[in-house]
């Protein structure tokens, strides 16, 4: 479960203070499918970075699975990211000199997991992402959709509770994008909390809960998106 309490995030730009997040209070339950929408500069990326522990709030509390993670030191936050949070980026962020399998393996490597176990889990992930025959290919040899599926496999290899996707279809054509979204939704159906940041109305409409942001505030939080 994710719980944000009175979260503020201020940036100093020149001599002006910008309130990227202004008193955000949200509770996201396990297994929810949330889309975060809003115009550029509305604070949705900042919110995502904060949820992913890549960024710290200026004030306020962030509870992840019951624990206050704002209090953790750098190393603990890193290991929380490693175990509990998966990231999917618009530009994939695969390491070009590593094969698909090695890219997927990275979080396990960083966590110091044994090679045998790693192999099993990577194979399993490749299989479920339909990437088995692409395992030894390097990112430049893969299509956009395949790359994003490698990225999703990497994001989920540690079996995190939360999957954060930042414009996951932004660099893909419609068909590949749809495939990626369906993959993410499948993971959500298996219990992962899926939070998608997007500009795309159609994509946003697929979620069960839609949060709309404007100027660092939550403009609307539509819990039953599909019905509404």
Q: Which helix (H) or strand (E) holds 44?
A: helix 44-51
Give the nearer residue to another protein in terms of CB position, either 192 or 209: 192
User: What distances in angstroms separate CA 93 from CA 23, 112, 147, one per listed residue?
Assistant: 31, 21, 9
Contact status, residue 88 vs residue 152, Cβ threshold 8 Å: yes
Q: Is 226 in the site for another protein (CB under 8 A)?
A: no
Least distance (Å) between residue 82 CB and another protein: 2
Cα distance between residue 19 and residue 122, in whole Å: 41
Q: Does 91 bind another protein (CB under 8 A)?
A: yes
Instruction: Report if residue 154 touches another protein, rule: CB under 8 A.
Output: yes
- Please tell me whether residue 55 binds another protein under the rule CB under 8 A: yes
- How do strand 33-37 and strand 209-214 relate by DSSP bridges? parallel
Q: Does position 38 bind another protein by CB under 8 A?
A: no
Nearer to another protein, 52 or 145 (CB): 52
Q: Residue written as tokens 């990626």?
A: 180
Q: Shortest Cβ distance from residue 45 to another protein (Å)?
A: 9
Instruction: Please tell me the distance from the alpha carbon of residue 14 to that of residue 47, in angstroms, as a whole number.
Output: 22
Q: Does 112 bind another protein (CB under 8 A)?
A: yes
Token pair for residue 222? 């539509």
Contact with another protein (CB under 8 A) among 95, 132, 202, 205: 95
| 86's tokens | 């998966």
**What does the binding site for another protein look like in residue numbers (CB under 8 A)?**
49, 52, 54-55, 74-75, 78-83, 87, 89, 91, 93, 95, 97-98, 106-107, 109-112, 114-115, 154, 158
């Amino acid at each position: 479960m994710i719980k944000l309490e009175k979260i503020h995030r201020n940036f100093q730009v020149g001599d002006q203070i910008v309130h990227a997040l202004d008193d955000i209070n949200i509770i996201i339950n396990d297994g929810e499918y949330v889309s975060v929408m809003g115009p550029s500069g509305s604070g949705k990326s900042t919110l995502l970075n904060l949820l992913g522990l890549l960024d710290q709030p200026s004030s306020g509390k962030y509870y992840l699975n019951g624990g206050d993670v704002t209090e953790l030191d750098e190393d603990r936050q890193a290991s929380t990211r490693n175990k509990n949070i998966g990231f999917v980026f618009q530009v994939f962020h695969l390491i070009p000199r590593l094969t698909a399998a090695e890219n997927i393996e990275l979080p396990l490597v960083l966590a110091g997991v044994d090679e045998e176990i790693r192999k099993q889990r990577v194979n399993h992930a490749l299989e479920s992402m339909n990437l088995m025959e692409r395992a030894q290919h390097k990112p430049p040899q893969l299509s956009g959709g395949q790359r994003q599926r490698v990225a999703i496999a990497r994001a989920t290899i540690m079996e995190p509770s939360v999957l954060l996707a930042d414009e996951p279809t932004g660099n893909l054509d419609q068909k590949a994008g749809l495939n990626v979204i369906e993959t993410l939704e499948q993971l959500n159906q298996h219990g992962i909390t899926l939070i998608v940041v997007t500009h795309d109305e159609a994509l946003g409409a697929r979620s069960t809960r839609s949060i709309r942001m404007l100027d660092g505030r939550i403009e609307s939080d539509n819990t039953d998106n599909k019905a509404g």
